[in-house]
Chains A and B, each alone.
Chain A
Amino acid sequence: MNQVTLVRLCVIAGSVLAVEALCRFGVINRLTLLPPSEMAAYLVHLLVSGEINQAIVQTFSNVAIAFVLSVVFGFVLGAVIHAMPRLRRACDPFLASYYSVPIFVFYPLFVSLFGLNRWPLIMIGFLFAITAMVIATLNGLDRVPPVLVKFARVHRMSRSAEILRVVLPAAGPYLFTGVKLALAYSFIGVLAGEFILSGGGLGYAIAYAYDAFDNRTMYALMLFVLIVVTAINSALFIWEQRLLRRRGKV
């Protein structure tokens, strides 16, 4: 374990212990915040009892579908836009201002299109995530050194071999950033959608507990979401760092 990781862990552990102490000694009201140890204990109880299994499956399957769709379609769309400079010039203003659009307002439209099922939420997660992937793809393809494309031609590669063996690996770090962002945005889109608009999933369970003043459930679920998202992002970060280190970029 290097020194930076150690410092990072100390900061996290110190913060958790400080919150624990503030809650235990009554500085923070229990109605406002529960001690982290109680959150964790109740989370274990919820997981063991299986009470939230359905919500977990629903949320994570929605996130997974939104994530996969956004990565695949985002990459294809990015590659198509990259190959057509005029289309790119036309799309640039939309891509630049995309995140100023409140995507949640389209929920009624998605309900009328897809019905009252999981797909409207998946569409919200998908729309949140896809643009990050499109932009990352454009960035990555812009930065493929032209000499590598010439190298592919010297090796008489077909267009598909050139893309698979040279272009994609060369653009890899940028595409990886897109994948990371797409995952984060899929989580945000789906969870926020469940919180505000849905009748199921972890987001809805948190909102329900909040409305019912059920702090233990609410904080336990929040802790669960936090742990899962942090774990996934940390794993991706470590993988990304390993890739970048090979290329001398960290």
Chain B
Amino acid sequence: MSVSHAELREVSKVFPAAGGQGDVHALGPIDLNLAKGEVIAVVGPSGCGKTTLLEILAGLAVPSGGSISFEGRPVRGEVPDGIGVVFQEDASLPWLTVWDNISFGLRRAGIGAAEIKRRVDDVISFMGLEDFARAYPAQLSGGMRQRVCIARTLVLEPRLILLDEPFGALDQQTRLLMGDELLRLWRKTGATIFLITHAIDEAVMLADRVAVMSARPGCFIDLVKTEWGRDRDSRVVADGRFGALTGRVWTRLREESLKSVGRSINRVPAAALS
């Protein structure tokens, strides 16, 4: 996992002034190396620029400063081939069936019908969507729709998958199970995964490294290595180290979260917590 797959150097984002207010320094400077085949999760307080960071890495937004590269080629304002993005919001196309949603990108790429059928059927089977292939997204639950969006990304066989709080709208149990599915597809595809999440437990369970961001302007203030095995799943929550890791992340995050909600920290003496 030492080969660099994507790199961010001194990346920052400043939004221009609106309504007579000053410029908003939203992000950075950020430095990050994504190793090929790793899962990295980013956690941070609300409004710290996590989604902006993902959009810059995807090529959906242009940074104000710094540089990004993917597989050695610069990324700037255009999504490079080989990157797939799963959004937090439901991005399924409501006028298409599940099968047509998943095959959408392949059809656009001009791939032959037989190959499209093979790949779509494979991914539908992998994601457990066989019974819903002819259903429309409106007939599915939120979790199933998100599966469709993941399947639609997966079928294109991206080498870098960016996920922006993909399980944010799901209940805790479904999130854990979807996390297992994400790990399963990661093991199958070997793709590099960059995951934005609010949930510390999800980040620690899924990631090889958890990057903790500060309040705005978002910078990395800690990078926590989890050192789980490649065959991990949601049962790591029962591991003794899980609590220590989530505790470390939360300790770094708590102060930043309080800053982001504009409250002073109510410091409790450490002795009172013991």
Contact = CB atoms under 8 A, between A and B. Distances in A.
Nearest to A147: B89
Contacts of B137: 248
Contacts of A172: 95
Interface in A116-166: 145, 147-148, 150-151, 153-157, 161, 165-166
B87 A155 contact: no
Interface in B70-85: 78-79, 81, 83-85
A247 B93 contact: no
Interface in A218-250: 243, 246-249
Contact of B91 (A151, A165, A248, A249): A151
Given A150-B60, A247-B95, A248-B138, A156 B89 contact: no
A14 interface: no
Given A247-B136, A247-B138, A166 B93 contact: yes
Range class of the B interface residue count = 20 to 34
A10 B108 CA distance: 49
Given A148-B93, A170-B93, A246-B138, 14 more contacts: A145-B90, A145-B91, A147-B87, A147-B91, A150-B60, A151-B87, A154-B58, A154-B83, A157-B108, A170-B95, A246-B94, A246-B95, A247-B136, A248-B136
Contact of A156 (B78, B87, B136): B78
A154 B60 contact: yes
Given A147-B91, A148-B91, A246-B94, A155 B138 contact: no
Contacts of A150: 55, 60, 85, 87, 91
Q: What are the 10 tightest A-B residue pairs by CB atom distance, in nearest-first order? A: A248-B138, A147-B89, A247-B94, A169-B95, A147-B91, A151-B91, A154-B85, A246-B136, A147-B87, A247-B138
B217 to A, nearest CB: 23
A142 B268 CA distance: 48
Interface in B94-140: 94-95, 104-105, 108, 136-139
Interface string B24-63: 0000000000000000000000000000000100101000
Nearest to A168: B95
Main secondary structure of the interface of A (DSSP, over half): helix
Interface of B: 55, 58, 60, 78-79, 81, 83-85, 87, 89-91, 93-95, 104-105, 108, 136-139
Nearest to A145: B89
A155 B158 CA distance: 12
Interface in A183-223: none
A169 B93 CA distance: 9
13 contacts: A147-B87, A147-B89, A150-B85, A150-B87, A151-B91, A155-B108, A157-B108, A161-B108, A166-B93, A169-B95, A243-B95, A246-B136, A248-B138
B90 A147 contact: yes
A153 B89 CA distance: 15
